[in-house]
Amino acid sequence: MSDVAEPTKLLLRTPPQILGPFYPFMMTPTEGGDLTSGGQAKGTVLYLSGRVLTEKGEPVAGAKVEIWQANAAGRYPHPNDDNYAAPLDEKFQGFAVTTTDGQGGYAFKTVRPAAYPAAPGRWRPAHIHFQVTAKYEQLVTQMYFKGDQYNESDAWLNSSSRKELLITDPAPVEGKEPGAQAVTFDVVLTRG
Ligand SMILES: [Fe+2]
């Protein structure tokens, strides 16, 4: 029997992604985690939750988690978004912030975003932008959806060497809005 301790298996750090052109400015993020105006926003309600962890698996309490995203039609409530073919949804708050609890947990109620055209002939797959700010580290990344037809061609997703860490697979959730889904997205920082 060896008395040499097994090396600690570290979690894989969540890969970074670009901030993107639609980081909200001159906008106050919705607090409390509900981007849907109490479920009134158009689209599939998505219960998005997860934990912020260090690579040693320790919870990161008190981290600021910001998300921003297109609505269910593929439009950001941002003055630079010229995807006019996709309507704005006044009930959808495209930008929210929350703080992780003692277990590193966070939760948002949002809708599944749609893909949108980024340039002529080039579409971005559906994604949700994240900015996580902890005491020692800040991570900007994007969360994607399994099965999106544009995942394979997206330059940003495919720029990541571990893109599988960014692709989620929501599942139906019972007892919520009709058709609602839930998904978990943990964010791993090098340290808290
Ligand atoms: Fe985006």
> What are the sequence ranges of the domains in the chain?
30-189
Whether 150 is catalytic:
no
Would strands 138-145 and 127-133 be described as parallel, antiparallel, or unpaired?
antiparallel
pLDDT per residue as tens digits for the range 116-162: 999 888 999 999 999 999 999 999 999 999 999 999 999 999 999 89
Q: Residue 69 C-alpha to ligand 1 middle, in angstroms?
A: 6
Instruction: Outline where the chain has alpha helix (H).
Output: 155-158
pLDDT per residue as tens digits for the range 59-72: 999 999 999 999 99
Whether 116 is catalytic:
yes
Task: Decide if pLDDT at 2 tops 60.
Answer: no
What is the CATH topology of the domain spanning 30-189?
A: Protocatechuate 3,4-Dioxygenase, subunit A (2.60.130)
Whether 127 is catalytic:
yes
CB atoms within 10 A of CB 162: 10
pLDDT of residue 99: 97
Q: Which of 13, 51, 129, 144 is catalytic?
A: 129
- The structure's pTM equals 0.94
Query: Which parts of the chain are beta strand (E)?
Result: 30-31, 45-54, 64-69, 95-99, 105-111, 116-119, 122-124, 127-133, 138-145, 167-168, 171-172, 181-184, 187-189
What does R_g of the chain's alpha carbons equal in angstroms?
17
Residue 48's beta-bridge partner residues? Answer: 108, 183
CB 155 within 8 A of CB 97: no
φ/ψ (deg, to 5) at 157: -60, -45
pLDDT of residue 192: 78
Q: Residue 128 C-alpha to ligand 1 middle, in angstroms?
A: 7
pLDDT per residue as tens digits for the range 55-108: 999 999 999 999 999 999 999 989 899 999 999 999 999 999 999 999 999 999
Whether 144 is catalytic:
no
CB-count burial class (<10 Å; 0-12, 13-18, 19+) for 147: exposed
Q: Residue 2 C-alpha to ligand 1 middle, in angstroms?
A: 51
pLDDT of residue 4: 63
